Amino acid sequence: MMQKYVGSDITSMVTLPVIIFEPMTILQKMAELMEYSYLLDMADKTEDPYMRLVYASSFFISIYYAYQRTWKPFNPILGETYEMVNHGGITFISEQVSHHPPMSAGHAETEHFTYDITSKLKTKFLGNSADLYPVGRTRVTLKRDGVVLDLVPPPTKVSNLIFGRTWIDSSGEMILTNLTTGDKVVLYFQPCGWFGAGRYEVDGFVYNSADEPKILMTGKWNEAMNYQLCDSEGEPLPGTELKEIWRVADAPKKDKFQYTHFAHKINSFDTAPKKLLASDSRLRPDRMALEKGDLSTSGYEKSSLEERQRTEKRNREAKGHKFTPRWFDLTDEVTPTPWGDLEVYQYNGKYTEHRAAVDSSECIEVPDSRTEFNPWQYDNLDAE
pLDDT at 380: 47
Query: How confident is the model at residue 384, as a pLDDT?
Result: 38
What confidence tier does 126 reach under pLDDT thresholds 50, 70, 90?
A: low
Phi, psi angle pair for 165, to nearest 5° = -85, 120
52-62 average pLDDT score: 96
pLDDT at position 217, please? 98
Q: Is the predicted pLDDT of residue 2 greater than 60, yes or no?
A: no
User: Domain total for the chain?
Assistant: 1
**% of the chain with per-residue pLDDT over 70:** 86
Average pLDDT, the chain: 87
- Within a domain: residue 120? yes
SS (H, E, C) 219-278: EECCCEEEEEEECCCCCECCCCCCEEEEECCCCCCCCCCCCCHHHHHHCCHHHCCCCCCC
Q: How confident is the model at residue 200 (pLDDT cuts 50, 70, 90)?
A: confident
In the predicted structure, residue 212 carries a pLDDT above the cut 60: yes
Report which secondary-structure segment, H or E, holds 21: strand 21-25
* 8 domain-assigned: yes
Burial of 293 (0-12, 13-18, 19+ CB in 10 A): exposed
Residue 379 has pLDDT above 70, yes or no: no
The pLDDT of residue 164 is 64
d(CA 271, CA 275): 12
- The stretches of the chain forming alpha helices (DSSP H) are 26-32, 38-45, 49-62, 64-67, 261-266, 285-291, 295-318, 350-360
Domain range spanning residue 123? 2-168+259-271
CB atoms within 10 A of CB 260: 18
264-303, pLDDT tens digit by residue?
Answer: 999 999 999 988 999 999 999 999 999 999 999 999 999 9
Cβ pair 96, 77 in contact under 8 A = yes
Asked whether residue 133 carries a pLDDT value surpassing 70, the answer given is no
Is 230 part of a structural domain of the chain? no
Q: Is residue 213 part of a domain?
A: no
Which domain CATH number covers 100?
2.40.160
185 within some domain? no
Upstream peptide bond of 236 is cis (omega within 30 degrees of 0):
no
- Mean pLDDT value of segment 148-156: 88
DSSP 280: B
The amino acid that residue 298 corresponds to is S
- Residue 22 covered by a domain: yes
Those residues with Cβ within 8 angstroms of residue 233's Cβ, 6 or more apart along the chain or in another chain: 213
**Predicted local distance difference test score (pLDDT) of residue 159:** 59
Q: pLDDT for 4-21, tens place per residue?
A: 444 445 554 456 778 889
The answer as to whether 147 is a domain residue is yes
What letter would DSSP give residue 165?
A: -
Residue 52 located in a structural domain: yes
- Look up the pTM and report it: 0.89
